[in-house]
Structure 1
């Protein structure tokens, strides 16, 4: 793991209203980017142009978030319930109770990494063995990592720690690094860091010689030359699958950097690059939404996002990303000052309260959870 000492200092998080605005921007931005990018998933830019010209808004009749949004809601509810005391056991239990041991929706659990994880869990394999499948390097953790950055606003290293715990059930290696990069970037953006500092925060929590770090550096170097340059610098030409975490995460950060954090330009740049467009636009939307706040999201785009439909995860049906953002903001406010210290929190889920006395937000998360 890269040293966290090189993470650029971010401004101290603002007041509760400011943080709530950024939190809502991050998670609504994720859902908007997901819905904008879904029709262009797995397409080339030439195919996008041939069908729609340049995508400048929703092209689906009923735009909605996909598995990216529903898994982000899943991780957000889990984090709101356990806070900094989140453990691998909490995550594994939630995968069983909320996903693996329930009837599946039409998406059958989502992408390759999720399918592999569910198959392993149903075979009785526990974490981290459950993450040992052919697609452990996918962007399935990156798509659900933004809530960790929202909760750990201004603390990229803590956001990365929580993302790694979340990902330990489903991912290994580059799949973990991609999720950590997203969580750290959102955490820095939540505190008002500059676009360059947001990308630097992501780089600081992954190994310098990792595939993820190399792709992020290439994307940032190319960003000033625009969308086509970012894509050329990052995309693995000829590889059939588009869910590679190093590629998808770098495309998202590249789109965000090329747009200098502007919300509309960030998500549309990601969408029009194609590949895993729903995930890249979701991540770019989370970064830009945290940077600029919820009011930066075009009103007509925001209005189209309703409660999750449960198409992928039936247990998430009815939950709204704004509800999750508010729960995470409250959970972060209620956390004791040393809640992010792994040595004091340990693996027991210590939140500074006596055993059996969860915080008010944890109780609220339990009420709204599946």
Structure 2
């Protein structure tokens, strides 16, 4: 069966959905579902711009556009040194704990994987939030998407933080094929050990989403999820196992539709910009650009570079097009290789 959506359309939907989720969830970050309900009722409209989630996603995409499948952790570390660390003038605004720890590790002269293991926030969701480009770039190949995300993650994360990125990248790679949401989640789970903290949280969260369906209230759903996967005694909300589980369950409860998935994720609170960004990336890859509500899409402009000046002025749709072009070039090269056209003249051409 021919895919009705082009890889370009799916790539644009993925990154636009991510940016919209980031922007919608931003004001709800670190809040509880009860606080969100008291303040907004249901948070459904984008109030401002995105956060570091979108900016680091564009940074990750730039690494792929330069290095492709040959990307190494040393390449990533060098980009951090020259494009992030060298441009810091004072505090690093808007960055998560894993990013701040990575900058410190690089300034000490450490190299990956020690840069991701040296600081105590290796299990954060900082890799998961920026892993979508690896799924776009390796569309249909979840193993390769997960491998590339891990190469990136070794610079800034360790353990469960890397696994969260692997799960998101693999899931996006399968969503890029138009697969059903259940198959997308299964791909994410196959990319990580079954007995890992992240996998256990995802299974619990998806079971709740499947069991409750549309019959349960938003409040009941949030309460059940928080009881199952949220680490209430931990002072920060950026745990990768928790964030990936909340995002995947929101994607399932939303039926793979962008607005339903993103609104569900944002109203769950915790690291709401990241969970909504991941849910938006998965749903956007599945539905394409037209699946992102037009009223949200109009609010997404070029990023300001508040956290990462190096990406200032870039728009997610332009970057999506670049990734899609590179994906098309890869497919053309593979076809030529299979036909025996690579590296030699073919008579009549």
Q: TM-score, normalised by structure 1?
A: 0.85
Paired with 1:87 and 1:100, the residues of 2 have a C-alpha distance of: 19
Deviation per CA, 1:293-343: give whole Å up to 9, x if none: 11011111001111010111011100111111111111112126898xxxx
What residue number does 1:362 align with? none
CA separation of 1:265 and 1:106: change in aligned 2, threshold 3 A: farther
CA contact (8 A) 2:92 2:100 kept: no
Paired with 1:102 and 1:179, the residues of 2 have a C-alpha distance of: 26
CA separation of 1:242 and 1:66: change in aligned 2, threshold 3 A: same
What residue number does 2:110 align with? 125
Query: 1:237 deviation in Å?
Result: 2.3
Pairing 1:285–2:280 present: yes
What residue number does 1:44 align with? 32
Give RMSD over aligned pairs. Answer: 1.8
What residue number does 2:155 align with? 169
Deviation per CA, 1:48-80: give whole Å up to 9, x if none: 11111111212x2xx211000000000011111
Structure 2 unaligned spans of 5+: 214-220, 335-341, 344-349
Match of 1:75 among 60, 63, 69: 60
What residue number does 2:137 align with? 151
Larger Rg: 2
Mean alpha-carbon deviation: is it higher for 237-246 or for 198-207? 237-246
Match of 2:184 among 198, 202, 220: 198
CA separation of 1:151 and 1:38: change in aligned 2, threshold 3 A: same
Deviation per CA, 1:111-149: give whole Å up to 9, x if none: 000000000101111111111210000000000000000
Paired with 1:199 and 1:266, the residues of 2 have a C-alpha distance of: 14
Mean alpha-carbon deviation: is it higher for 218-227 or for 67-76? 218-227
Structure 1 unaligned spans of 5+: 1-10, 340-351, 354-370
Match of 2:19 among 22, 31, 48: 31
What residue number does 1:188 align with? 174
CA separation of 1:81 and 1:277: change in aligned 2, threshold 3 A: same
Query: 1:91 deviation in Å?
Result: 0.6
Q: 1:76-95 counterparts in 2 under 5 A?
A: 76-95=61-80
SS state of the match for residue 169, structure 1?
helix
Query: 1:108 deviation in Å?
Result: 3.0
Paired with 2:147 and 2:253, the residues of 1 have a C-alpha distance of: 28
What residue number does 2:346 align with? none
CA separation of 1:107 and 1:57: change in aligned 2, threshold 3 A: farther
What residue number does 2:270 align with? 275
What residue number does 2:337 align with? none
CA contact (8 A) 2:74 2:111 kept: no
Paired with 1:168 and 1:159, the residues of 2 have a C-alpha distance of: 14
SS state of the match for residue 101, structure 1?
helix
CA contact (8 A) 2:10 2:286 kept: yes
Match of 1:137 among 116, 123, 137: 123
Aligned length: 326
What residue number does 2:8 align with? 20
Paired with 2:109 and 2:245, the residues of 1 have a C-alpha distance of: 34
CA contact (8 A) 1:104 1:314 kept: no
What residue number does 2:229 align with? 234
CA contact (8 A) 1:104 1:312 kept: no
CA contact (8 A) 1:105 1:311 kept: no
Paired with 2:305 and 2:275, the residues of 1 have a C-alpha distance of: 21
CA separation of 1:142 and 1:134: change in aligned 2, threshold 3 A: same
Q: TM-score, normalised by structure 2?
A: 0.90
